[in-house]
Amino acid sequence: MSEATLAAPWWKRGVIYQIYPRSFADSNGDGIGDLAGIAARLDHVASLGVDAIWLSPIFPSPMADFGYDVADYTGVEPMFGDLAAFDRLLAAVHARGLRLLLDFVPNHSSTEHPWFVESRSSRDNPKRDWYIWRDPAPGGGLPNNWISDMGGPAWELDPVTGQYYLHTFLKEQADLNWRNPAVAQAMTDVMRFWLDRGVDGFRIDVLWHIVKAEGLPDNPANPDWREGLAEKLRVLQHHSTDQPEAHAFTRQFRQLADSYGDTALVGEIFLPRDRLMRWYGTEAEPGVHLPFNFELIENPWDRDTLAALIAGYDAAIPDHGWPNWVIGSHDAARIAARIGERQARVAAMLLLTLRGTPTLYQGDEIGIGTVDIPPHRIRDPQDLRQPGMGLGRDRSRTPMAWDASSNAGFSTVEPWLPLHPDWRTRNVAAQEEDPASMLRLYRRLLAARRASPALSLGRMTLREAAPDILAYERQHGDERLLVVLNLGSEPREVTLPGATRPGRIIVATGTRDMFDGTIDADEAYVVELLA
């Protein structure tokens, strides 16, 4: 790694790898992944060439929403292990030169959390105001028209106290009241607990939700809603999300994280680009290091769309900010399922050569594609509550395939979700042996990125190109590289930037060793530019 690359903070030059613990590796034969399973497979993660691991929630939970309903913010769910197992995993991560980010869930807790149990016990309990309680509307009924992201009203009546509590997601996930200073202090103490334990930062769940508008007014109706769209889209979430007061808490999170040194905060924020940029804060009062950018997931996969969104996003980043990119997660359909395996290879090239920090999702490195979940195997509450809407997330949470042995080496018993249908040939062991595999492509890309200041930190310039061709230059000092991606099904000619000639191919999806100015369908190249 060059001196220029090493001088930058790791979260700028590095790559994050997301692990969904239930589905990575099962060490104890219950069909569910765990911390010891992750520890046993760390060499695979390290061999990819990534810099940090983000773990989806591992905290004690009734698992109504598979860990995003937290019952204890400073413990470990027994099905995953315990605090000693976490400490062993963290030590093993650090021993391999990697960092570990935890999933911090500040908007809501489980209704089984002791805080909520106290809160609902009576109207005058000291923790009543730790959550958002309201009387029924005059004449009875819901306090306002807010809709849960899981469908149905965002309010649940507690018959004992006669008030409703707010739940942005499932009724088992009660929203915390961040306007109560005691809540803000308690949750900041949670972050401090894990930072003291040695974690390197957090991915912050639904960060833009944490503060609600004073008075909880009705959200305006969405004039564009129609049958077939998710129920939550019936209203525009003007008053239930993205309130200006939330930024003060984000600045406090950043100050705490920065006080521990080389840490990082990644914010989950689904907002239009102009509002997303506010979550960077200012140079004097910064927000999260990386407000997640989901534009490669949310938009069509074609050259014109991608070129426009890349240019617009890069131009919108404030001077003190740093871009980031993602093509897959535990909430989105697999990239290979969305665009096919050939284009998924092109997508890997795009993700790992754009300016900014990439986040990889487990299983994308072996090209897991479409997984049909039989009705009797569906586990996702979002899918069960709104069937037939295509909202199911199980499809992206299926187990990792390690080899061709029973249950793909994931477990000694049937996994909690089905494996992808081609797991006997699409697994880590098989792709280790195939130089043309998706896994080997990811490793080449990550090695190239690590070795190249132009790819990891350099500036980016989009170039005019033939139809279906997305082309851009990355430059740092004297190093100039051209990235050429064919998003179409026909071969194309590529014109190099003026006064340059092609040098060696740094990495490619194909097998050619020299670049001759042509690119086949569904291919991509990173080419050295010489004067």
DSSP track, 189-251:
HHHHHHHHHT--EEEETTGGGS---TT-PPPPB-TT--TTS-GGGGB--TTTS--TTHHHHHH
Is 72 part of the annotated catalytic residue set? no
- The values of phi and psi at residue 409, to 5°, are 75, 0
Answer for the pair 216, 144: CB distance below 8 angstroms, yes or no: yes
* Active-site option among 69, 268, 365, 394: 268
From the CA atom positions of the chain, what is the Rg in Å?
24
* Active-site option among 205, 380, 383, 468: 205
pLDDT at residue number 261: 96
Start-to-end CA distance of the chain, whole Å, equals: 24
Residues in the chain, pLDDT under 70? 1-6
| pTM for the structure as a whole | 0.97
Cα separation of 142 and 139, whole Å?
10
Is 414 part of the annotated catalytic residue set? no
Find the DSSP H helices in 364-451. 381-385, 428-432, 438-451
CATH of segment(s) 458-530: 2.60.40.1180
Cα separation of 177 and 129, whole Å?
7
Reply yes or no on domain 3-107+181-446 having CATH 3.20.20.80.
yes
SS3 177: coil
Place of tokens 């760390």: 42
Angle between helical axes of 181-197 and 246-258 (0-180°, round to 10):
30
pLDDT at residue number 10: 97
pLDDT at residue number 1: 56
Q: Kindly report the CA angle at 216 between 71 and 254, in degrees rounded to 5?
A: 55
Q: How does DSSP classify residue 145?
A: -
Reply yes or no on domain 114-175 having CATH 3.20.130.10.
no
pLDDT at residue number 7: 84
The domain segmentation of the chain, as residue ranges, is: 3-107+181-446, 114-175, 458-530
pLDDT at residue number 3: 58
Answer for the pair 465, 445: CB distance below 8 angstroms, yes or no: no
Cα separation of 286 and 250, whole Å?
8
Structure tokens at 367: 């090209």
Does this chain's domain 114-175 share its CATH topology with 458-530?
Answer: no
Residues 6+ apart with CB under 8 A from 504: 513, 514, 527, 528
Helix then strand then coil, % of the chain, to nearest 5: 30, 20, 50
Which H or E run contains 530? strand 524-530
- The values of phi and psi at residue 84, to 5°, are -65, -40
- Could you give the dihedral angle defined by the CA atoms of residues 463, 447, 486 and 502, in that order, rounded to the nearest 10 degrees? 60
Find the DSSP H helices in 341-437. 341-351, 381-385, 428-432
Cα separation of 4 and 15, whole Å?
16
Which H or E run contains 266? strand 264-267
Residue 455: closest CA among 351, 306, 327, 370: 351
Residue 484: closest CA among 453, 513, 440, 515: 515
